[in-house]
Structure 1
Amino acid sequence: MNRIDHHIRISQLIAKEVNFGLDESERQELNAWINNSEENQIAYERIRNQEEFLNWDENFHQVNVDEGWERFEKALTPSRVKFAFQTIFRYAAVLFVPLFLAGVAYYLYDDLSKQTSYQNIARIDVKKPEAQLILADGQKVSLCNKGISALKEKDGTQIEKGEGRLKYQAGNDKRTLLYNTVRIPKGSEYELVLADGTKVHLNAMSSLKFPIQFIGKTRGVELTGEAYFEVSKDAKHPFVIDVMGTKVEVLGTSFNVKAYKEDENVVTTLVEGSVKVRSSGFKAKTMMLEPGQQAVVSEKSGAIKMQNVDVNLFTSWREGVFLFKDERIEDIMTELSRWYDLKVFYKNQSIKEYRFGGHFNRNSEIGSIMEMFELTRKVDVEINGQTIVIGEK
């Protein structure tokens, strides 16, 4: 067991000790870690002696999750915060039970952050990237077919197919605007490099319609679902994304757009550069975003709400991580169902409003994730194949 595996295991043992108690073998395992060093003893005592942890179950609904999250971030330098999100969050398969496991992670974090070699935790055979490419003539190509490494459109555009990735190289015929479409099923993701060099990372249950080479004054594409864009700069040809009528216009920048068909909003989160978001309808509105800002467009009214956000919460999926902060369990399960192909039912409506925060690897087994929810003592989870039923404890 590598060191990060061991620390995650210890945090789970401490969480179980507080909530349920340990059996004899688990008690011996935890004691062995405690007695291994003075630093471990101090860390354990600090965790167990904290009143907020000892009384955690009684005070569950009074916990200030925002305050706890901010304290966790302030304990690290900016470079280490970035390291945490990009490296440890990519591999750790621990769900933060507010605030208990957050506290455990806080005290063990300094040792964890010094590691330079990691392995995935709680691996399962998540579906490998598989997608469907629809060519300009309507031909459908399975992108999980390893026998295909290159394609060619009738205008001469070359399409290179790699592992989970397509790359377009424009042809010489610029007389006709030809479109391709990529569709991503549940449990998969895919990356495109468009003819202008723009990179598009498509999330599960998403599709993108795009010209195989850009002709005209704008570079226009159509998105359904979620994608992270890294747009190639071209001041003379703005890049415009049509998302359910909402237009997101950029010159060169990095941002995330989320708008699944069942959602009521188009959510644009800006990481770098600037974007202009324009809603549709009679009362269309326009808003400019700066890095760290998010525009939420109501599909029904066209109203735009702007807010400052932690962009990691909305872009971590492309790093192979689910990351949630004080989210409704219904919203969390909606995200999980797109990846794990689940059907989720609730025994009563009030459960949908329960709020949780956490992070875990997208290769984690769904059973281990649901087990962490049960550790909160607030919900009971039944798993039957791809069906999950959630009730109150």
Structure 2
Amino acid sequence: FGEGKREVFLSGEAYFEVVHDEGHPFVVTTDLGNVRVYGTQFNVRRYVDEEGIRATLVDGSVGFAKNGQKEDEYIKIEPGYQVRYEEGQEVVVQKVKVYNEIAWKNHQFSFERKPLDEIMKDFMRWYDVNITFEDESLHELYFSATLNRYGNIETLLRFFEAGYDIKFEINGKNIKVRRK
């Protein structure tokens, strides 16, 4: 890291466990803002194809500041909370189910009342596939589950087909979602 502060530049998602060191602050820098760490375990999610940034605190203490804000303007959150920010909006702090936010690091997907199109975005990232919807109304189907992340996406897709009126057509890396 060099002299002064410990800084990581992030595009994507990462889970951190950081030891507090007053003389060497740890900062996660993204294009929307920075997460300053005070000794903790936390998750930061900032994908460029998503509207905002999310920082979820597992243990310890972190703060968030939008780009251009000073050190004394960081918003600190407590364990079990998440800070969310979308450019041009207000910063939101809310209580979350931490496991849902960090399940990926344990090779799982975990979601509650999440729309199918958002779930499929995560699947596209993890499995390097392209998923399209034949019927736009399918975007609004909501699901709750904790699923293992298998080496093959087909196993996960069959779970959705088993309980709902949807079908996945797989053609190489292209997958189409349609009604049965």
Paired residues for 1:303-322 under 5 Å = 303-322=90-109
Counterpart among 66, 70, 82 of residue 294 in structure 1: 82
Q: Does 1:233 align with 2:32?
A: no
TM-score of the aligned structures, taking structure 2 as reference length: 0.92
TM-score of the aligned structures, taking structure 1 as reference length: 0.43
Letter in structure 1 aligned against 2:3: I
Counterpart among 23, 34, 56 of residue 269 in structure 1: 56
How many matched pairs? Answer: 177
Q: Is the 8 A contact 2:32 2:52 kept in 1?
A: no
Q: Does 1:334 align with 2:143?
A: no
Paired residues for 1:104-183 under 5 Å = none
Structure 1 runs of 4+ with >6 Å offset: none
Higher strand share: 2
Partner SS state of residue 164, structure 2: coil
Counterpart among 154, 159, 175 of residue 367 in structure 1: 154
Measured against aligned partners, the alpha-carbon deviations of 1:308-333 in whole angstroms (never above 9, x if no partner) come to 01100011111111112111111111
CA–CA distance in 1 between the matches of 2:133 and 2:78? Answer: 39
Partner SS state of residue 10, structure 2: strand
Q: Any stretches of 5+ residues in structure 1 without a counterpart?
A: 1-212
CA–CA distance in 2 between the matches of 1:271 and 1:290? Answer: 8
Letter in structure 2 aligned against 1:296: R
Partner SS state of residue 375, structure 1: helix
Measured against aligned partners, the alpha-carbon deviations of 1:206-255 in whole angstroms (never above 9, x if no partner) come to xxxxxxx3212x22221110000101220222211111130100121000
Letter in structure 2 aligned against 1:379: I
Partner SS state of residue 252, structure 1: strand
Partner SS state of residue 178, structure 2: strand
2:40 is aligned to 253
CA RMSD of aligned residues (A): 1.6
Identity over the aligned pairs, expressed in percent?
A: 35
Q: Any stretches of 5+ residues in structure 2 without a counterpart?
A: none
Tell me the CA shift for residue 364 of structure 1: 4.5
Measured against aligned partners, the alpha-carbon deviations of 1:26-82 in whole angstroms (never above 9, x if no partner) come to xxxxxxxxxxxxxxxxxxxxxxxxxxxxxxxxxxxxxxxxxxxxxxxxxxxxxxxxx
Larger Rg: 1
